[in-house]
Amino acid sequence: MVGMSTATEPASVWAHARRTLSGLPDGAGLNIAYEAVDRHAAGPRARVTALRWLDRRMSVSEISYAELADRTARFANALDALGVRPGERVFTLLGRTPELYVAVLGSLKARCVVSPLFAAFGPEPVAQRMHLGDAVVLVTSPALYRRTIAPIRGRLPALRHVLLTGPARPDVLEPGTHDMAALLAQASPDHVIGPTDPQQPALLHFTSGTTGTPKGALHVHEAVVAHAATAREALDLRADDRFWCTADPGWVTGTSYGIVAPLVIGATLLSDEGEFDARRWYTLLERERVTVWYTAPTAIRMLMRRGAEEAARHDLKALRVIASVGEPLNAEAVRWGAAVLGRPVHDTWWQTETGAIMIANPAGSDVCPGAMGRPLSGIEAALLQQGSDGRALVDPDGHVRVLDGQAQGELALRAGWPSMFRTYLDAPERYARAFADGWYLSGDIARRDADGRYWFVGRADDVIKSAGHLVGPFEVESALMTHPAVAEAGVIGKPDAVAGELVKAFVTLRAGFEPTEELRTELLGFGRQALGAVAPKEIAFDDALPHTRSGKVMRRLLKARELGLPEGDLSTLEVNT
Ligand code: ATP
Ligand code: MG
């Protein structure tokens, strides 16, 4: 491979990134909350707005770094007063409200492990995750308590304390249930973060469940080194930015970049309690003069579906960077961003397991539409030769074969970057299987071009084998999406006696197009023109493609439907209509 100079050697990259952080006073270790809050509160940024929060009606509240330090200190002291010990797990089930940020950062100060859950989950997925994660404390709202927790509390014997946000509601204050505001009011605002080993667990995130039951990935305090460094490099995030990450903190993106990275950098974090709505989002971008915006391909596609007119009504000149993560970003969406929003969309690739961005088209560099980009500093990526199951081939001695130059294979990362997950909860053997020969095996298939850029092909589980061709569903979906009638597509392999599998596409149309036979024939022809042998042989119109709660198209569900199989654990899913 390419020889590397010492300056870009991963170890020296991370050592340098670590030096941009403060560390706890007196060499007492490294704590995410100290880097994100306390060191700013003790310095010239104390009065700077840390959190600018918009409620559902879009009225604004602001919290400075000093105020955030006060509230999170009280929260940590309140946990201590309740007898909650370092290492114990605190879960949050909250909408995007200021209490969410206070609870997450306050728990980290107390050296508890914190796991934010997505508030739209129903009782089952919440019970599953809290049970797997040994939740000792839960912070939630009275309404969510009644709807989601009351029915399952009896199944969570480890849960000792529930803290309720919002106005006190004596009717829900059962034993072991506390009023968070009252606890904070009683608690002291003085708190010194205890010694924190950088390898101490800090964050517990569940994967999206796109390919199966969600896995609990555990991350340590040292992850903050990667959160900050990657936000600078991939998103060009700076202290004077107004940063909006649209992901909910219930997903890893919403914590790594929706809480930790921007605060560590000292920027102003925007948080919107409201849900996606094209007009609301454009209004927010304009009125709040958002400078760096981190969102998801599914959101960009929804804006595209609404057309360019809505965008044209808003002044988006303050926007310096638009980036996305979570799913393949079609070249079409990158170009649409450049044409309609005034900035191309920068793709970034990473996973719950990686904790931070690994591969990106960094802000400030030329975007290559359709490519995920190149590994960030400190990250060594490789493509590994695949076996017949699509995953990297590991020989009996445990070795893998790293492919050189232009190639296609399982995307792997040299183990050891700071935000790498440290285990899957309750599944250590699964964790062990995720590594071979010093590499973390991502489960995604990618290819590398002559310029060293990585292109997403598909998940190893999703790749279609049709008449001797290996077909990445993303490539087919992207080609279909260049047709003006197509808003979104999901592509699967349908078992076929002759071809093994044949490529079938489910297509959602843009507003104004009708699902006629004529259009179907046209799209089949369009696909053949663009893709040749790997074009879809069947197209079905579907205005409700199944998505995970985090917004990803679930091909395994499309396939289950196609085959008439049971759809599995539907409790964590949402069908977008
Ligand atoms: P599960 O692991 O439970 O099946 P998941 O893999 O969707 O769910 P996440 O960790 O949220 O859970 O998502 C990571 C995955 O999302 C990646 O492995 C990849 O398949 C996809 N992904 C993320 N970013 C990109 C991107 N820029 N381009 C293509 N795919 C992406
Ligand atoms: Mg995954």
Q: Whose CA is nearest to atom 23 of ligand 1?
A: 326
Single out the residue of 194, 185, 158, 162 nearest to residue 175, CA to CA.
162
Task: Assess contact for 472 and 459: CB atoms under 8 A.
Answer: no
**Ligand 1 pocket list (CB less than 6 A):** 207-212, 214-215, 325-329, 347-349, 351-352, 372, 442, 444, 456, 459, 550, 552
d(CA 319, CA 333): 17
Provide the β-strand partners of residue 447: 408, 455
Single out the residue of 224, 223, 303 nearest to residue 551, CA to CA.
303
Task: Assess contact for 317 and 342: CB atoms under 8 A.
Answer: yes
Q: Whose CA is nearest to atom 16 of ligand 1?
A: 326
The token pair that represents 566 in the structure block: 């049971």
Tell me the three state secondary structure of residue 255. helix
d(CA 351, CA 252): 8
Q: What is the pTM for the complete model shown?
A: 0.92
128, 352, 553, 555, best to mutate for ligand 1 pocket (most atoms within 8 Å of CB): 352
235, 294, 349, 411, best to mutate for ligand 1 pocket (most atoms within 8 Å of CB): 349
Q: What is the pLDDT along the chain (577 residues), one digit of tens a residue?
A: 444 445 679 999 999 999 999 999 999 999 999 999 999 999 999 999 999 999 999 999 999 999 999 999 999 999 999 999 999 999 999 999 999 999 999 999 999 999 999 999 899 889 999 999 999 999 999 999 999 999 999 999 999 999 999 876 666 667 789 999 999 999 999 999 999 999 999 999 999 887 777 899 999 999 999 999 999 999 999 999 999 999 999 999 999 999 999 999 999 999 999 999 999 999 999 999 999 999 999 899 999 988 899 999 999 999 999 999 999 999 999 999 999 999 999 999 999 999 999 999 999 888 999 999 999 999 999 999 999 888 999 999 999 999 999 999 999 999 999 999 999 999 999 999 999 999 999 999 999 999 999 999 999 988 888 887 778 888 899 899 999 999 999 999 999 888 889 999 999 999 899 999 999 999 999 999 988 888 999 999 999 899 888 788 889 889 888 888 776 544 333 332 2
Strand locations in 273-376 (E):
292-295, 321-324, 345-349, 359-360, 374-375
Measured between its terminal Cα atoms, the distance across the chain in Å is 47
Please report the atom of ligand 1 found closest to the CA of residue 214: 3
Going edge to edge, which strands form the sheet with 89-94?
177-179, 161-164, 135-140, 89-94, 113-118, 201-206, 216-220, 423-424
Total length of the chain: 577
Task: Assess contact for 392 and 385: CB atoms under 8 A.
Answer: yes
Q: Cα of 312 to ligand 1 centre, how many Å?
A: 32
Please report the atom of ligand 1 found closest to the CA of residue 353: 10
d(CA 332, CA 454): 17
Domains of the chain: 65-220 (3.40.50.980), 464-575 (3.30.300.30)
Helix (H) or strand (E) holding 491: strand 486-496
Task: Assess contact for 124 and 101: CB atoms under 8 A.
Answer: no
